[in-house]
Structure 1
């Protein structure tokens, strides 16, 4: 876009004193517009998990999702949030930091608006990620987009048609060559998106898309609150994949 876009990166203990390569988790923030600082508070949970040995040292990246977070909106100034992430940030991270540089060592998660972004991106680009974990996602608005000719509201339309979590899941499920995805859908039981997360999980089952569903008791719509209760389980979801494919 001819414009500098920021990100935060968490480098684990030992990164600066070793030559090791590390797996990477990309966390997509919630809310609109984008801001690379919106989810960095989660880094304290990540650091604590590494320090106590719950997960192995891992790089976490917190990008900026653009004016309509994680959507490509070419009619808006600096509006290519998804493409900047996929086409520019991921190659930049792999060339700048000591990552594995492979699908098996690259995970994707996010919360709320970021969970919507994770869901669309994982089904559009399953060749880039193996472990994925959308949380607190607004599958209700995604359903409105699907059923109303791309309109989320009277003033906001997403194009092309089919650019939503429901249709993209169906397209993915119909692919004969689809790469496997290790999917964890998670949400708090007091979140206003919880019922639609249950509906989306049932929809994935109907499509034959294997996944886990993590209910987080008594947590409202908050990424930090979800991590406070079940952050270790979310991080360990990615870690299981990393452990399988970790270079010897």
Structure 2
């Protein structure tokens, strides 16, 4: 079935003073047999310049929706204009954790994002349709999802980030529907081991991905982020790691996204064809 985007009759409109355009679109998922809402932000230059643009995919956290980022951080419109890039905020099914669940075949969000959403965006918008023009990041569950997807699909994304990411799922067997996605830890330990980002460092090829991640030192995911940093150091995997005062909240993420988009912009410029 041909992948396509179906535009809704409604749009998340911007203020007149804002130049970037914010659309809500529906993406067809054949793997889950449903249509999934997504926010797509295009910069002002998109309508005036006949060229292709890099894309940053930004994932929400557990219990969130596709609209979280643009609602809580409307500055994304300004950042899209500043860096001349497209920002895509997909829906992650509430608590999908962005992988294909080994115990619930109705939750295949790894397949959806990597094999359905990305091609649909590339076929609908003027994008740089290769890894040199794509980055992915997210907060909390979305931070785990961004690294999970990028680590497994280094042919799709050239850069990846995580903000307060839940990078080790094992300490939280009773939280955020994880047992519904992976099965009870006591009976399905292998699922928890295989799907925790901190155990996926072996998949990384040197210099295949540009990585940035950060976490507040008062965050309950801080320990996992620090351990991933140490693991990457042991493997000599280049990355940017930041820890600073902060908790697991939107004040922290609204600040963090500024640095991550700057990082991705520098990556896009570094690999741009002269």
TM range (shorter): 0.7 to 0.9
Is contact 1:144-1:152 (8 Å) kept? no
Structure 1 segments, 4+ long, off by >4 Å, are 142-145, 150-158
Residue 76, structure 1, aligned to residue 101, structure 2: no
Look up the match of 2:70: 40
Q: Deviations over 1:211-242 (max 9, x none)?
A: 1111232x2102x3224434322111101111
SS of 1:86's partner is helix
Alignment partner for residue 169 of structure 1, among 193, 201, 223? 201
SS in 1 for 2:220: coil
CA distance in 1, matches of 2:102, 2:211: 29
Contact preservation (8 Å) 2:139, 2:164:
yes
State which of 50, 58, 65 in structure 1 corresponds to 2:85: 58
| 2:251 matches 1:191 | no
CA RMSD, Structure 1 to Structure 2 (Å): 2.7
Post-superposition shift, 1:5?
A: 1.4
What are the ranges of 5 or more consecutive residues in structure 1 without an aligned counterpart? none
Aligned-pair CA distance for 1:17: 2.8
Is 1:138 aligned to 2:166, yes or no? Answer: yes
Residue 15 of structure 1 and its aligned partner are, at CA, apart by 1.5
For residues 187-232 of structure 1, the C-alpha deviation after alignment (integer angstroms, 9 at most, x for no partner) is: 1222121122111111111222221111232x2102x322443432
Contact 2:56-2:87 at 8 Å conserved across structures? yes
Within the candidate set 30, 37, 46, 1:15 is matched to: 46
1:39 Cα offset (Å): 2.4
- How many correspondences in the alignment? 235
